[in-house]
Structure 1
Amino acid sequence: MITFAICDDEPLMARELAGHLAGYMKEKSTTDYSVSSFSNGCALLESGGSFDVIFLDIQMEQPDGMETAKLLRQRGDHSLLIFVTVLKECVFDSFQVEAFDYLLKPLDSVRFKQTMNRVLRSLEQRAAEDIVIQRGTGCEVVLLSDIVYCEVLGRKIYLHKSDGTVSDYYDKLEDLERRVDGRFFKCHRSYLVNLDYVRGCQDGQVLLSQGERIPASRLRERELTQALLRYMKERGI
């Protein structure tokens, strides 16, 4: 089930966007999806919903779309954010909240399909990316997208996840590094960090989206910044 949210204070625009979305999903013969509509940022934030994709208007009463996006990111939301607006000049602000794409009003059907093609590819990639860890006599499947950072203490690896839980198991950080993908960066000899959650690096510390800080080697700070910029560019952010 793919979950979409549309947040726009113009009912006609919200219906038009929903129509484009329905047409696209029908063309793809996909019926396993849902669409929730919200007339303002507060309604979206207060819904407590978890969405795969959020179409977000920028020009709304406070909190406007950009502020709503910032609040979503601050609480650890990793939805694919797609801004829909008439404001071309806001495109650079979208980098701050890791927007997936930026659509201009009036909607262009070709451009919309291109964006949606990328959305489906990204969601498929997310769903396929996980690791299986051995815990005692059992095992656990952990999505890479859920891992904020990995820490090694003694002979154990601790996977710190976005929901606040921690999974631990016996392994070497070097072996784990070979199993994860390019979104993970070794910022310290004892830490791997998921670049999706990095918000900055300063004075030997990596600032994470939920306010946590983990150590970064002084020699790796510049490399971390470069890796983050490359990663954002690859994702088209």
Structure 2
Amino acid sequence: MFHIAICDDEKRFIQYMKNIIYNAGLKRGEVIFYEFSSGEEFIDYLKETASFDLLILDMQLKNMDGNETAKEFRKVFPTTTLVFCSGVCMPTVRNFETIPFRYLLKGYTDERMRFEMKTIINEMINKKVEPFIIGNNHYNLVKLRPSDILYIAIAKRGSCIHICPNIIEYKFEENITSKEKIESLYNLLKDYGFAYAHNSYIVNLKYIKKVTTTELQLVDDTKLTISRSKAKNFREEFAKVLAKKY
């Protein structure tokens, strides 16, 4: 699954870029789009997001412009594929401080835009890296890899992240929380061995020690119920993980 952010104050252009991306080769089932109309809105979201594979960024945003937004983005995602778009401006030396992969002009023909997007998609695929989750523990921000996480459960305001006990760098007395809903976290993590065992939680399948008809046991001996509605798909996904192991 690819996670693509488009930050532009023109909704029509955002939709246009989504269509170009589909026409350039990505299928609808393999991409999730995140739409933002300002640099401020996008930067606020960065504090909670887990991963982006591509950012398409308008240079003529109001208030916080594209260069400022790109600098903040690079602090969190130093290697993610970055593409600038502009309706009027040609690139300057300042634009390249944040190492964009391409600088697109909105006046390009559809054919030229598709050609450029194919190159961008290839770069994105080649650079795709394991996502990370930004969690909160009191006043601390915690950056978590999929392999750090045992399971994630629904909480009142987002999700509660349970850490694998073997991860020695995290020694928090309380669980880590995220403002992201469990559905969003699942979309980020399903390609990395996570599955729903119940509507209320997703589990890192590689940390399962035992499975019965109605229950699973994790490596820390936590026991979780497997709901009827999720049982079939859960067992299929667990079987895939076992097949890779053995």
TM-score in terms of structure 2 length: 0.46
Greater relative contact order (Cα < 8 A, sep 6+): 2
TM-score in terms of structure 1 length: 0.48
